[in-house]
Amino acid sequence: MTGLQEQLHGLWLPLVTPFRDGALDERSLRRLTRHYSGQAVDGFILGATSGEGMTLRDAELERLVAIVRDELATAHSKIPVCLGLSGADTSRLKERLDETADWPIDGYLIASPYYVRPSQRGLLAHFEALADQAAWPLALYNIPYRTSVNVTNQTLLRLAGHPNIIGLKDCGASREQSIALLRDRPAGFRVLTGEDANYFEALSDGADGGIVLSAHLETATFAAVHAELKRGNHDAALARWQEVADLTRLLFTEPSPAPAKYWLWRAGLIDSPEVRLPMVEIGSELAIQIDREIERRMQVAA
């Protein structure tokens, strides 16, 4: 297995991208990175869905990677970093792979092409072309409710045979498909759930870990769910999961990552809850709910 393949398990954080007055908030980004480098996090995803990657200019994305890697080096942390890329133009994505080949990353998370709805043969050719081009290993990202196309298990199993394709972020929204993939996948092909609300369920079914936005909060508890299940302590894992299950619903009451950014702002980890259009900051009703939940958890912890 490649180095990243060995590390692609456990709790991965799709790091939010902090903004302030329309610009990348570098001070908050450094604070976030320092904070989570000291938590039970097994890897970072940068510039993907939760990181509002589709709104980032190329120079901002490069700066984002550089700052995170600099802070990790300062903290003597060996947390791996994957870069999120997406698009519907295979040729342009190949160019982006070339442009980012010398960036200080460990791999890529690449979503299915959106809007164009290619056939399974088209998806196979698309991902194979990217894997052939990439200087770093690829994890695929299947999320049909955003892209309008599902990568079937037949296609995924063929792609899993490519030496530069090492895993999957699974947001397929079908437990039956996920279980079948976990049963049939080749040795070493990693599957991590990307569905926060299904984190415990997916781990119980045999997933290798999760890429979980909600783990920005109560990080240690999310990590403990995985650790307890690995030790075979199902009841202990379930008890820990019940401590955070409601968070995974609250943080997706309005489009993500706006609710999580509001919470992180209230917690003092970022200087602004700002998101970029067409995302908007959360409404007053949800803000009140989150404030109450923050206060409740502070009282429980006291």
CA 45 from centre of chain: 5
Instruction: Classify strands 190-193 and 209-211 as parallel, antiparallel or unpaired.
Output: parallel
Least confident segment among 3-7, 18-22, 164-168, 212-216: 3-7
Please give the residue that has the higher pLDDT: either 111 or 300.
111
Looking at residue 119, its pLDDT comes to 98
Asked whether the CA dihedral 155, 156, 160, 166 is positive or negative, the reply is: positive
Can you give the pLDDT at residue 190?
98
**295 forms bridges with which residues in the sheet?**
none
What the block records as the tokens of 109 is 């998370």
Rg of the chain (C-alpha set): 18
| CA angle, residues 274, 277, 280, in degrees to nearest 5 | 55
Residue-level pLDDT at 11: 98
Is residue 169 part of the annotated active site? The answer reads yes
Per-residue pLDDT band at 301 (split at 50, 70, 90):
confident
Using an 8 Å Cβ cutoff, are 264 and 16 in contact? yes
Compute CA 91 distance to the chain's CA centroid, rounded to the nearest angstrom: 24
Q: Tell me which of 40-44, 170-174, 234-238 is least confident.
A: 170-174
In the chain, % of residues over pLDDT 70: 99
Q: How far apart are CA 166 and CA 191, in angstroms?
A: 9
Q: How confident is the model at residue 300 (pLDDT cuts 50, 70, 90)?
A: confident
Catalytic member of 169, 199, 261, 262: 169
CATH class belonging to 3-243: alpha beta
Domain boundaries, the chain: 3-243
| β 19-20/23-24 pair status | antiparallel
Residue 86: band (very low, low, confident or very high) from pLDDT cuts 50, 70, 90: very high
Give the pLDDT confidence score for residue 2 in this predicted structure. 63
Confidence band, pLDDT 50/70/90 cuts, at residue 1 = low
141, 199, 261, 262: which one is catalytic? 141
Mean pLDDT of the 268-292 span: 98
Q: Which helix (H) or strand (E) holds 141?
A: strand 138-142
CA neighbor of 144 nearest in space, from 167, 166, 170: 170
Q: Encode pLDDT of 179-238 as tens digits.
A: 999 999 999 999 999 999 999 999 999 999 999 999 999 999 999 999 999 999 999 999
